[in-house]
Amino acid sequence: MINPFPDLNKIAIAPSILSANFASLGKDISAVERGGADLIHVDVMDGHFVPNITIGPQVVKDIKQIAKQPLDVHLMISNPDKYIETFIDAGAAMVSVHIEAVPHLSRTLTLIQSLGAKAGVVLNPSTPAGSLEEVASTLDFVLVMSVNPGFGGQAFIPHSLSKIKKVKEVLSNAGVKAPIEIDGGIDETNIQKVVTAGANIIVSGNAIFGKSDPESSTLALRKAALA
């Protein structure tokens, strides 16, 4: 099985292409990889589970031909079970689903893993960390949303820091060592706080692709995380 995050002691930077320029997506992806990106984060939205529409499996397949780093695919869609195999076939190394979107979460996570990808559970800002207790032993990673999902460029929700700590506690109580990913409003001013709280994988879009030089922005974000 592929392992996109072998070292829990390492901080992984995952630029989100939601904020990239799709007219030059290949160029932008190459730039962040030169800047040291560990993952390429892909937000899939269906206009139903969240109020926005982004991309589908074909774009993921095209990105896979360009990207050297693993693809971290976040499914913000209704009925994700129907599309999981298609996205993994397209090149997803990590697939995360929202608790609210699946009726049988443990079965969904097992499906993702059986197809050779890492399985993640996403917590919306209003979803308690305790929701993970019944599936903690099954999941590979947790994605904490620090904004309400659906759009890029939103402001970081401060109580996300305590949510990270609670997630870490739930995993620890279950005897599970799994990365905690965070997504939403992360930039150089707050990345050190989320790392200190316990996040291992940092998703950032606007703070990287919203700048004139994504390569330098990726480098700067890691430097701020380790400061």
Q: Hey, which residues are catalytic here?
A: 43, 183
Contact status, residue 207 vs residue 188, Cβ threshold 8 Å: yes
DSSP code per residue over the chain: ---S---TTSPEEEEBGGGS-GGGHHHHHHHHHHTT-S-EEEEEEBSSSSS-B---HHHHHHHHHH-SSPEEEEEESSSGGGTHHHHHHHTEEEEEEEGGG-S-HHHHHHHHHHTTSEEEEEE-TTS-GGGGTTTTTT-SEEEEESS-TT-SSPPPPTTHHHHHHHHHHHHHHTT----EEEESS--TTTHHHHHHHT--EEEESHHHHTSS-HHHHHHHHHHHHH-
